[in-house]
Amino acid sequence: MDYEISLLTAVGISVLFALSLNLITGLCGQISLGHAAFFGIGAYTSALLAKAGVPFLATLPAAMLLPAAFGVVVGLASLRVRADFLAITTMGVGFLFVGVVRQQDALGGEMGISAIPDTGLSKLAFMLLTVALCVLAALLSQYIRRSWMGQVFNAIAEDEDTTRVMGMDVPRYKLAAFAMGTALAGLAGALYANNLKFISPDSFGFVESMTVLSMVVIGGIGSIPGVTAAAIVLALLPSMFTFIGEYKLLVYGGLLFLMMRFSPDGVTGALRRLAARGKA
């Protein structure tokens, strides 16, 4: 049972992380290749606070606010760039995060932070908390999609210039997407740190950013059930087929390529087309 519980916890953290990127890339159309940095900021914030004696649950607000603050700064910097340039900028932010953390002794440097204090929750309770937060994040995403904010996000994702000419304050909406998405990534990072009790810069690098982007793209950009399902499958893959571990990036890269080539709207889009063909 212990194995299933820890597996479910890990999967839940992946789902939460994927849903956080889906807010930015899926709903608002802003690509990010450095999302793991915000996951990392949340993880480090929570870990350091916990080591300083702050109870686990009390570290969570800070582990959301700090990444969100950085998210807004990155968002501000990226207001002037679009699409492929935004991809490069966010990728740079990802490398910057790992580079800076490696050099800081206060953050544990290369060795990372180990022996993160116990959360005070049983393994089962921690798993249930993770799953509950996933459900909340999914419900929040669904609500945002249905709200006027979701309408505007959709419009920005499709055609930013036209959205502005229709009187909508596009920069503020983008910043809102970045703030919400990075806050949720920070929350996922805090869960990750307290689950493993050990973090190091290697856990928040480019591979992790690509992994989470694969989940969003393969699931079907913007589709909340699709992204959730893809996150579950892709998080389970390495533990079901241990040999994948070595070739993780190759598998994800291959899947990304296949999706972009054959079904740019992800598995969700492919299923929708199949259903339409079935009806016809």
Partner 1 sequence: MAPLLTVRNITMRFGGITAIDGVSFDVMPGELLGLIGPNGAGKTTMMRAIVGINRPQKGSVALEGRRLDALSIDARIRAGLALSQQLVKPFREIDVRDNVALAAGAAKTRTPLQALLHVDRTAERSIALEALERVGIAQLAAQSPRTQPLGVLKRLEMARALALKPRLLLLDEPLAGLNSKEASELARTIADVNRQGMTIILIEHNLGEVMRICQRLVVLDNGRKIADGAQQATMNDPAVRAAYLGGEADVAA
8 Å CB contact between 22 and 140: no
Task: Work out how close the CB of 159 gets to partner 1 at its nearest, in angstroms, rounded to a whole number.
Answer: 6
CB atoms within 10 A of CB 253: 13
151 binds partner 1 (CB under 8 A): yes
Tokens for 95?
């490398």
CA–CA dist 98, 95 (Å, integer): 5
| 154 touches partner 1 by CB under 8 A | yes
Tell me if 136 contacts partner 1 by CB under 8 A.
no
Minimum CB distance to partner 1 smaller for 158 or for 246: 158
- 113: which strand partners? 199
Neighbour count for residue 141 (Cβ, 10 Å): 24
- 278 lines the binding site for partner 1 (CB under 8 A): no
The residue range among 55-63, 101-109, 171-179, 254-262 that interacts with partner 1, by the rule CB under 8 A, is: 171-179
Using CB under 8 A, which of 80, 147, 253, 258 touches partner 1?
A: 147
CB 200 within 8 Å of CB 212: no
Q: Which of 81, 111, 122, 159 binds partner 1 (CB under 8 A)?
A: 159
Q: Cα(93)–Cα(182) distance, rounded to whole angstroms?
A: 13
**Least Å from the CB of residue 113 to partner 1:** 35
Per CB under 8 A, does 82 bind partner 1?
A: no
- Residues, the chain, total? 280
DSSP sequence for 70-109: HHHHHHHHTTT--HHHHHHHHHHHHHHHHHHHHH-GGGTG
How far is Cα 36 from Cα 185, in angstroms, rounded to an integer? 8
- Closest approach of partner 1 to the CB of residue 273, in Å: 15
* Cβ contact 214:220 at 8 Å: no
Tell me which stretch binds partner 1 (CB under 8 A): 66-74, 103-111, 118-126, 172-180: 172-180
Q: In this chain, which stretch among 16-24, 161-169, 183-191, 230-238 interacts with partner 1, using CB under 8 A?
A: 161-169
CB of 274 to partner 1, least distance (A): 20
Q: Is 50 one of the binding residues for partner 1 (CB under 8 A)? A: no
Where along the sequence are the contacts to partner 1 (CB under 8 A)?
A: 143-144, 146-149, 151-152, 154-155, 158-159, 161-162, 164-170, 172-173, 175-176
